[in-house]
Structure 1
């Protein structure tokens, strides 16, 4: 049977996240001096509250939590495992899962693992996981599912987003402090995307959230124009 493992950066609806054949490994969220396992020790709502006045960052899941995911899914009877992770261009999470998965499979000859770099984040990962679930339900093999997801990642699976403030990009160093400060004064909203190599790119800017959303939609329509 085919099981699916992913990290908690995925933005799956609850009804999919709680499926028996889906296992979500918590990434570590660092708030100030303390680290928490997302979705286990801290909720997304609590993280959002912290971000009102502070800066948070994420770090790799613990190797123990990753190994537990493989062990749990194997114990549930899933000997074919599809792993879908946050873009390798944004984090070392994909490589961590791949390394531990290879170790796990080497000790159990009946286990087959296919690792897919989503080249995306959040909803982009969720779309790939949703596609994998649908393909699995119609009877596609693990190899076919993994191949199809890889062909979509970074090409057909495109994410655009805008942010209500520049302060997080400024604090993370993705834009300069002066640029960020001036942008906040002028009510500039950034439009970001994850490019085909899985790396964050500042796609554009707009004055005010309404114009940012309109510009983001225009960028998306231009990107998918003529594609199937």
Structure 2
């Protein structure tokens, strides 16, 4: 079976962007949005590790084909678990989209990574930029995808950071994409608020807490 045409893919991409499920970053790369990832998280938890028989049956049910056809599509590589997860996620998110169009959209989003978990209000660091950033007094917040406490802390972030002196630099880092940072400071959970003083890590607060908890620690250090 031939795959979707270039025109069909471009049209599907436009629809994903219009629906707020895919965005284009400043560098031109495409990423899925938090709205889509919230849906994909649910289906990934349910279907990422199902056995082959359950996978075949779910593909047959999802695409309205018999199990032999589903098996052929799976064996040919036309449908992977990530394709299935993307398809089911889109079907739960979008209204009035026919199955063929959903399948075309699924081929696109299955290949796209989610955007950064670092809040847009923060400067984002990586393993190349953090060493210079922490040379003085600084706070580095650590985030990851599929993290309910991280999402909750984002709602409180302005209140949390209001307790910092103006001369303390603040940034965020995607912990999963910065293994050197994690190893250097033994940070193995998210969210985490890492407090540096004169270039030295002085405190790490992990998990989500009330703003006052962070304010107390900031007052001790700065």
Do both proteins adopt the same fold according to a TM-score greater than 0.5, normalized to the shorter chain? Answer: no
TM-score computed with the length of structure 1 as normaliser? 0.27
TM-score computed with the length of structure 2 as normaliser? 0.27
Pair member with larger Rg: 2
- Write 1 or 2 for the structure with the bigger share of strand: 1
